[in-house]
Amino acid sequence: MLKDTMLYLARQESIRRFVSTNGAARRMSRRFVAGETLDDAIAATRPLNQQHISVSLDHLGENVADAAEARATAQGYITILDRISAEGVEANISIKLTALGLDISEDLCRENLLLLMRRARDLNIFVRLDMEGSAYTQRTMDFVLELRKDFDQVGTVLQSMLHRTPKDVEALIATNTRVRLVKGAYLEPSAIAYPRKADVDAKYVECMHALLERGAYPAIATHDEHIIAETKRFAAAHDISKARFEFQMLYGIRRDLQEKLAREGYNVRVYIPYGTQWYPYLTRRMAERPANLIFIASNAFRG
């Protein structure tokens, strides 16, 4: 019920406008969103890199309204790629296809994506196509498999909550495509997604095992300490070196655990979102893990 409520709130434009202009809410968001500018994101990246933690930068935004906005977003991501290279930070990027115009036209999205991917290839920077709601799952899979024919530095995200995910895992393993495995943060019908957390967790572990054994440098994206422990156990039991995978976590959540894993010699990457459209992102994070809501609420009004 809590998850459904939070995901409903994430879609309400009137609430988004109120929260986004509320001073206390904006201050609270800075704990979990690096800021509103690329300068803010780079500033948040440097101290993490100093702790041997990599980052994935995401300029928040999705479902653009017109072609001009989609092309501007693509150019914005090229600016991010250039800035990563110029600053010498250890970072890659994550991007949503709807931000590149997928809702407007697949051809427009492809045009923008190819422009971005060619620049990423020139700079040798990895690009992650984020997975959105289930209405976009197959189209995202189609795009990433198409791109893999010409680009090495591209991967995507799979959500263990969806019934289809084990099959998608196998398709991406077969094409040597990098996967970030998450539980999922969208409200989906039970016909296509597991409603029970226990089932989502069980499928996560099943997919994680397959990716560790046969996948291309998978990203195990979770704050769940039981799943992290199982990842470490499985890797050790199957002689899978720490260099063959990475843990991924969200900016501002479980920093202690991020630092601990890095000290233990595991590859760790932190997902750093930034931009003015932080409200939908923050509500989805609260929805997917109730502990996040408690943590965010307890920190909302601290200086």
- Partners of 93 in beta bridges: 57, 127
Cα 176 to Cα 174: distance, rounded to the nearest angstrom: 6
Among residues 58, 103, 130, 201, the one annotated as catalytic is 130
Cα 204 to Cα 194: distance, rounded to the nearest angstrom: 11
Cα 280 to Cα 76: distance, rounded to the nearest angstrom: 20
DSSP of 107-175: HHHHHHHHHHHHHHHHHT--EEE---SGGGHHHHHHHHHHHTTT-SSEEEEEETTBTTHHHHHHHHHHT
Longest dimension (CA), the chain: 52
Cα 64 to Cα 67: distance, rounded to the nearest angstrom: 8
Give yes or no: 152 in active site: no
Which helix (H) or strand (E) element contains residue 232? Answer: helix 225-237
Q: How does strand 246-250 pair with strand 178-182?
A: unpaired
Among residues 119, 128, 178, 180, the one annotated as catalytic is 180
Give yes or no: 122 in active site: no
Burial of 21 (0-12, 13-18, 19+ CB in 10 A): exposed
Q: How many helices (H) and strands (E) does the chain have?
A: 13, 8
DSSP 100: G
What is the set of active-site residues?
130, 180
